């Protein structure tokens, strides 16, 4: 038995310390059930809120909690960056769709103008083959007397 105590670094405590320790446990349990005192569950639930509002954790968890909080902060910054990138990409897609619609409408209007000119030039060629010439002056209205 003494080999295990040496292995785990423990030693036998005097009996009076063991008794005091159990006595304090019993008294703390009985005081928690007294009226007017908060129960252990309320203390357990409200302790983190109380500690965070008091700022006690800043001094206590510096070495232990700082890497975790820095990890959370890095995740938060990465999340903000990804959201910003997603929104800018969506904005770029929307602008590109507007430009594509504008270019498509311009293309259609130019095609219709070219088609009109092509039909006019074909008509002029066919009229020239027959021997008809388009008059340069506007038509005159003839009135009957």
pLDDT (tens digit per residue) in 49-96: 777 777 666 666 556 677 788 899 999 999 999 999 999 999 999 999
More confident residue, 14 or 92: 92
Q: d(Cα 60, Cα 62) in Å, to the nearest integer?
A: 6
How far apart CA 15 and CA 9 sit, in angstroms, is 19
Is the dihedral angle over the CA atoms 7, 10, 14, 19 positive or is it negative?
Answer: negative
Lowest mean pLDDT among 31-45, 55-69, 116-130: 31-45
Predicted TM-score (pTM) of the model is 0.41
Residue 41's pLDDT is what? 73
pLDDT at 45 over 70: yes
Q: Both tokens of residue 135?
A: 């008059």
Binning pLDDT at 50, 70 and 90, where does residue 17 land? low
Contact present, 5 and 11 (Cβ < 8 Å): yes
* Cα separation, 59 vs 51, whole angstroms: 11
> Tell me, what's the pLDDT at 14?
57
Q: How confident is the model at residue 37 (pLDDT cuts 50, 70, 90)?
A: low
Query: How many angstroms separate the CA atoms of 56 and 80, rounded?
Result: 29
Q: How far apart are CA 96 and CA 92, in angstroms?
A: 6
The values of phi and psi at residue 76, to 5°, are -65, -45
Least confident span in 25-29, 117-121, 131-135: 25-29
């Amino acid at each position: 038995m003494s080999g295990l105590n040496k292995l785990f670094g423990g030693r036998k405590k005097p009996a009076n310390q063991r008794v005091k320790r159990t006595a304090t446990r019993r008294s703390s349990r009985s005081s928690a059930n007294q009226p007017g005192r908060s129960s252990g569950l309320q203390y357990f639930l409200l302790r983190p809120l109380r500690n965070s509002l008091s700022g006690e954790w800043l001094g206590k968890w510096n070495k232990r909690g700082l890497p975790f909080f820095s990890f959370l902060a890095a995740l938060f910054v990465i999340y903000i960056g990804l959201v910003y990138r997603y929104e800018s990409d969506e904005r770029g897609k929307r602008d590109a769709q507007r430009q594509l619609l504008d270019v498509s409408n311009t293309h259609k209007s130019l095609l219709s103008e070219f088609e009109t000119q092509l039909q006019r030039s074909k008509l002029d060629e066919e009229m020239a083959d027959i021997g008809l010439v388009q008059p340069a002056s506007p038509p005159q209205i003839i009135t009957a007397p």
